[in-house]
């Protein structure tokens, strides 16, 4: 988050067709380079896998924007995992390069898709010690 005391906000919009084309062209190679095994399994079990994949891709991009003031700090996409709680609430599980970039920040995630587009918003807020 650059200055650890600042709020970081990231948003990204992804075309579902773009993700479909990437999967058609590169197949498992693309999926395994960008998504974790859990993300792939979750999306492939959905009615419209490309929508879920696009939303997760947008989340990864939004995370990078939220934690970096100067552009991508070498964060690997697979180090930003989108997880879903038992209640269906999406969240982020950063590790490796993503965890280092986020530092002590807490992240919140919102996802949506409609009309061939997927959007994600990430808020990275400084951890408050009381």
Contact 107, 92 (CB under 8 A): yes
Catalytic residue, from 60, 65, 93, 99: name it: 65
Strand 106-114 vs strand 117-125: parallel, antiparallel, or unpaired? antiparallel
Told to judge if 6 belongs to the known catalytic residues of this protein, a careful annotator would answer no
Secondary structure tally for the chain: helices H, strands E: 5, 5
Told to judge if 113 belongs to the known catalytic residues of this protein, a careful annotator would answer yes
Specify the residue for token string 């700090």: 73
What 95-100 contacts at long range (C-beta under 8 Å, 24+ apart), as own/partner pairs, is 97/73, 98/63, 98/67
Hey, which residues are catalytic here?
Answer: 65, 113
């Amino acid at each position: 988050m650059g200055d650890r005391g600042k709020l970081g906000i990231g948003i990204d919009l992804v075309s579902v067709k773009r993700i479909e084309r990437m999967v058609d062209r590169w197949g498992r190679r693309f999926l395994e380079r960008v998504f974790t095994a859990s993300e792939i399994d979750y999306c492939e079990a959905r009615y419209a896998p490309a929508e879920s994949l696009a939303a997760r891709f947008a989340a990864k991009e939004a995370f990078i924007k939220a934690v970096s003031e100067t552009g991508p700090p070498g964060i690997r996409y697979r180090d930003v995992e989108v997880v879903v709680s038992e209640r269906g609430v999406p969240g982020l599980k950063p590790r490796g390069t993503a965890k280092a970039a986020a530092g002590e920040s807490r992240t919140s995630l919102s996802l949506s898709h409609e009309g061939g587009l997927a959007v994600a918003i990430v808020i990275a807020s400084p951890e408050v010690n009381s």
